Amino acid sequence: MKDAVTHYCAGCGHGLIHRLICEVVDEMDIREKTVAIAPVGCAVLAYDYWDFDTMEAPHGRTPAVAIGLKKILPDRLIFTYQGDGDLAAIGTSEIIHAGNRGDNISVIFVNNGVYGMTGGQMAPTTLLGQTTTTSPHTRRIEKEGYPLKIMEMMALLNGVTYLERTAVDSYKNILATKKAIEKSFKTQLEGKGFSMVEIVSACPTYWGMSPIKSVERIEKEVIKEYPLGVVKGE
């Protein structure tokens, strides 16, 4: 991590997840061969915080840029960092085809259930009963449909090697998140193919609650809809 003050709100999970990635990169001693592809979303400025090579991609096209880079630099560790809007809405096509082809990249998917950067609109991952700026009467099955479970969908694709869902709401889950990131990076460096870690995270600003209440909400509500653990692989 660079010695910089981030632009993230108090209690946001992005800063914590950024740090976990940096710890893994340093512990694996791969800083010189790591390239991240930053998304459009609240993490759009991730390149200001990571002290390794980082590229920026148009909204949702992050895996396409990662795959192109991996093809010309196959010895590098290439990972995408994406939120709900980037991966689970505008980028659904890119992520499905990357997984289906078994492209040898790592994907870090941060699921906080809303669009943060653009003002707290409903995301495909928003929970039933959750109020957002575009679902003022809450998300309802008959109007807005069901939350999209990306990992369970990706697990059906033959090209996908490893999928794990974690959270950053407790010390235990933070450690599990770090381990999963490391496993994803090792999967790629061993040439085993496509891997993805979904990290359930808080957006206190657009959940309309304090950082402490946000962490409690992850534990009490969010991980009931998005259960933690390995979804595919060992």
> Quick check: 115 binds ligand SF4 (CB under 6 A)?
no
Among 36, 38, 42, 167, binds ligand SF4 (CB under 6 A): 42
User: Would you count residue 14 as binding ligand SF4 (CB under 6 A)?
Assistant: yes
Q: What single-letter DSSP state applies at residue 116? A: T
Query: Of residues 163, 204, 215, 228, which one binds ligand SF4 by CB under 6 A?
Result: 204
Which window, 62-70, 96-104, 175-183, 201-209, contacts ligand SF4 (CB under 6 A)?
A: 201-209
In the sheet that 77-83 helps form, which strands lie side by side, from edge to edge?
53-56, 34-38, 77-83, 106-111, 194-200, 160-167, 229-232
Q: Are 123 and 135 in contact (CB under 8 A)?
A: no
Asked if 61 touches ligand SF4 (CB under 6 A), the answer is: no
Exactly one of 104, 130, 173, 205 binds ligand SF4 (CB under 6 A); that residue is: 205
Under the binding rule (CB under 6 A), the answer on residue 195 touching ligand SF4 is: no
Applying CB under 6 A, the site for ligand SF4 has a residue count of: 11
Per DSSP, helices labelled H in the chain are 14-27, 62-72, 92-101, 141-144, 150-154, 171-189, 204-207, 211-217, 223-225
> Is position 130 an interface residue for ligand SF4 (rule: CB under 6 A)?
no
